[in-house]
Chain A
Amino acid sequence: MGRYFRRKLLIYGVTFVIAVTINFAIPRMMPGDPIARMLAQNKVSNVESAARMHAYYNDLFGLDVPLWQQYLNYWGALFQGDLGVSLFAFPSPVSSVVLDALPYTLGLLLPAILLSWFVGNGLGAIAARSKWLDNTALPVSYLLTAVPYMWLAILLAWVGGVILGWFPVAGGYSFSFSGPQFSWNFIVDALHHWFLPFLSLFLVALGGWAIGMRNLVIYELESDYSNYMQTLGAPRRLVRRYAFRNAMLPQISGLALQLGVVVGGALVTEVVFAYPGLGSLVLDAIQNQDFFLLQGILLFIVIGVLVFNFLADVVYVLVDPRTRLGLEGGAS
């Protein structure tokens, strides 16, 4: 078990370092002067303030010292939680802007990921059992995995929001609330806004899990131990239960691997619904050429993905005894 975790932690550590390094390197390697572009984009016309901002950002990027020292300074600032100042929401620091948006994205992502995983696995396992269900659930699942996230979101907003008028199509809460607050009215209103983006994410992710589970269960049912148990006369239910439990293992490691894709899906879904999470923030950052904000978001997402991956590993160890005993297995 120790070896398994050491290896995983090493991979996550290296990933984090690489992500930070990419973050550090991109603005310095890309052609052009990002600071000049930021200032031009934000139409800082006053010459004096433009010069001051240019000097400020030069200082903040620390472009006047050697590269290796810039790199060390970058890490130093990072550990103090200093990700720079957002241009788009000036003068708020990037970290607080991101933290404000984070609850909305997590509120969408976590239920969508977990529910789609449970429902999809159940659906797939049942589909592997009945030919009739297999013939209907499988094509629908393939259709769902092929749909681009934002298109399903647009369709749901159009049908549920515009045509039927059942749900609001934009925002995280009504304009009548000046901001998030703790009251029943607000929570009901926020849930009302939450439902369509959630449904959209849930549906796209659902298909993949159902297909994966169906294939895995069929594969397990064909394996030697299943055949052996069947020849011993074990009841079909028991054989299927063993097949299901074995098929769970790849689905757990798949949960971690799919995360990056689902996060991407959440970003574009939020853009469609103008939902005030990280996705809308990414859009604002791009439109305002707010590079600090964009890189801060990248860093937050990378950290989130790594933490979630680690949690999946812990679950994997709890579920699969082979990893606990230090045997091969779970070598994902």
Chain B
Amino acid sequence: MTTDATLKSDSVGESRERLYFAFRNPKVVIGLAIVLGLLLVGLIAPLLLSAEPTQQFDAKSASPSGEHWFGTTYFGNDVFTQFAYGIRSSFMVGALGGGIAFVIGLTVGFTAGYRGGLVDEFLNMLTNVVLVLPALVVLIVLSTYLENRGPVSQAIIIGVFSWPWVARAVRAQTFTLRNRDYVDLAKLSGKRAPQIIVREVMPNMASYLLMSVILLFGGAILFAAMLDFIGLGPTDSISLGSMMQQSMAWSALHLGLWWWFVPPGLAITAIVGGLYITNVGLDEVFNPKLREM
């Protein structure tokens, strides 16, 4: 995705102006509303629900009703309970996995772009190699060997394999920024490299970084759902992907139990789609050229 971040200096007035435009932008508002709404479901619903996701009720394969909002599974589990717990775990894996990928990508990108030379050659090679590796397949092999899988270990391996495109973009932008006058001035005044990167270089790509965090978050959720669907999800908890896996394994398709497989996929689509829409809106906020379109 090409996101053309504006490389202008930030100031207090400007960020306030951006905030103003952000809340005026329907895409940002709608996208955020969807994501935050589902986040609230994931945070609050498990506290209010009395049932456990593994608890089996007498009503098996029941269609949605007042008692079971999203119906029950073949085994009599309440689908809404599983759904709420699943959303919670999706957000957790997304935040942790996306966060790890972001930190690695940022570190590699800044180091390569700012240092240049041999360090850059090596890091660039590393980035390209991880970029070419088919991530999901490597993740599948790694997860299969893990005997006890939890959301945390899943998030870590997802993060370790999804950072390269961030690193590449950050490196490219750092290249263009590192020879600016104010960076030279900072160097002359004796500031150390990490300080220069954090204080002088990073603020100039803040908008881009914000958008890549959002994309990484969504990407990690999709990755986790795919792993869960193949049966490599957390061994001790429920997730949206494993709900879909269960529904397929017990032929919900042929039994017509659509309430079992529709909600989890819909939730993932809504979260990831909401994130993408927010991103497009933010792009318009940061990039006044697009705003006029």
A-side residues, CB < 8 A to B, are 10-12, 14-15, 18-19, 22-23, 26-27, 30-32, 34, 37, 142-143, 145-152, 154-155, 157-158, 161-162, 169, 211-212, 215-216, 218-219, 222, 250, 256-257, 259-261, 263-265, 267-268, 271-272, 282-283, 285-287, 289, 291, 294-295, 297-298, 301-302, 305-306, 309
Size category of the B interface is: 35 or more
Q: Closest residue to B132 on the A side, CB-wise?
A: A15
Closest 10 CB pairs of A and B: A151-B265, A264-B136, A146-B273, A260-B134, A146-B272, A30-B145, A15-B129, A11-B128, A15-B132, A150-B229
Interface residues of B (CB under 8 A from A): 1-2, 4, 125, 128-129, 131-138, 140-142, 144-147, 165, 218, 222, 225-226, 229-232, 241, 244, 247-248, 253-254, 256, 258, 261-262, 264-266, 268-270, 272-273, 275-277, 280, 289-290, 293
Closest to A32 in B: B147
Q: In the complex, A152 Cα to B264 Cα: how many Å?
A: 12
Report yes or no: A294 in contact with B140, Cβ–Cβ below 8 A.
yes
Among B2, B135, B262, B270, max chain A CB count under 10 A is at B2
| Across-interface contacts of B146 in A (CB, < 8 A) | 30
In the complex, A285 Cα to B145 Cα: how many Å? 12
Q: Give A152 to B269 CA distance when docked, in angstroms.
A: 10
| Cross-chain contact A151 with B244 (CB below 8 angstroms) | yes
- Is the beta-carbon distance between B258 and A158 smaller than 8 angstroms? yes
Knowing A215-B1, A286-B231, A294-B141 touch, does A157 contact B253 (C-beta < 8 A)?
yes
| Total residue contacts A-B, CB cutoff 8 A | 164
Q: Are A264 and B229 in contact (CB under 8 A)?
A: no
Choose one: A19, A22, A146, A282; the contact of B230 (CB below 8 Å): A282
19 inter-chain pairs at a CB distance below 8 angstroms, sorted by A residue, are A11-B128, A30-B145, A30-B146, A142-B276, A143-B273, A151-B244, A152-B265, A158-B258, A211-B1, A215-B2, A216-B2, A219-B4, A256-B132, A257-B131, A263-B134, A264-B136, A283-B230, A286-B231, A305-B134
List 6 additional A-B contacts (Cβ < 8 Å) besides A11-B132, A158-B261: A11-B129, A142-B277, A218-B290, A260-B136, A286-B140, A291-B144
Task: Name the A residues within 8 Å of B133 (CB-CB).
Answer: 15, 18-19, 260, 302, 305
Q: Given A34-B145, A154-B261, A271-B230, do A148 and B269 touch, yes or no (CB 8 Å)? A: yes
Taking the nearest CB of chain B, how far is it from the CB of A267, in angstroms? 7
